Amino acid sequence: MLTGPIRSQVDQIWNAFWSGGVANPLAVIEQITFLLFIKGLDDIHTREENKAATLGVPMTRPVFPQGTDGKGRAYDDLRWLRFKNFEPREMFTVVDEHVFPFRRSLGETGSSYGAHMRDARLGIPTPTLLAKVVQMLDEIPMRDRDTKGDLYEYMLGALLRNSG
């Protein structure tokens, strides 16, 4: 169950989307899902880094490879913990032109993930809104395994309440 403060944070994110020109609640849920997935990839990579450092061995399953993507951007910049600190225009460029294409490339051809992410695109219209939403999502404590499920349950409930 989401606490009152987390519900308030989620409501503020919805309001930011609304005032930023994204009024379709399904688009809001889709974009929040994409961003939370991106954040989750970085969390997985960080856990792998920490495990490798603790054991004194190379990382066995990094999410983000070393080097640069096809457009010359360091894969390290595609990590949530990096781009969340970028200036809004740079963050927008990185997420739109590098993170989303990288995300789409993660699924194997013919896989369920590949089929669902094939057309995933950033649907947040401005750098300012993206920076605001990234900051707000970053402030929601997601350490509890149930928080994400509770968050989606709350958003879907809001969608149902507001559609009637």
Task: List the domain boundaries for the chain.
Answer: 4-163
> From CA 114, how far away is CA 14, in angstroms rounded?
28
> From CA 139, how far away is CA 129, in angstroms rounded?
15
Residues in contact with 6: Cβ distance below 8 Å, sequence separation at least 6, in sequence order = 140, 141, 147, 150, 151
Q: Does the 4-163 domain belong in CATH 1.10.3720.10? A: no
Q: Give the Cβ contact number of residue 127 at 10 Å.
A: 18
> From CA 139, how far away is CA 147, in angstroms rounded?
13
CA angle 46, 51, 57 (to 5 degrees): 120
pLDDT in tens, the chain (164 residues): 667 888 889 889 999 999 999 989 889 999 998 999 899 899 999 999 999 999 999 999 999 999 999 999 999 999 999 999 999 999 999 999 999 999 888 765 555 665 666 678 999 999 999 999 999 999 988 776 677 777 878 788 777 766 55
Task: Tell me the pTM.
Answer: 0.86
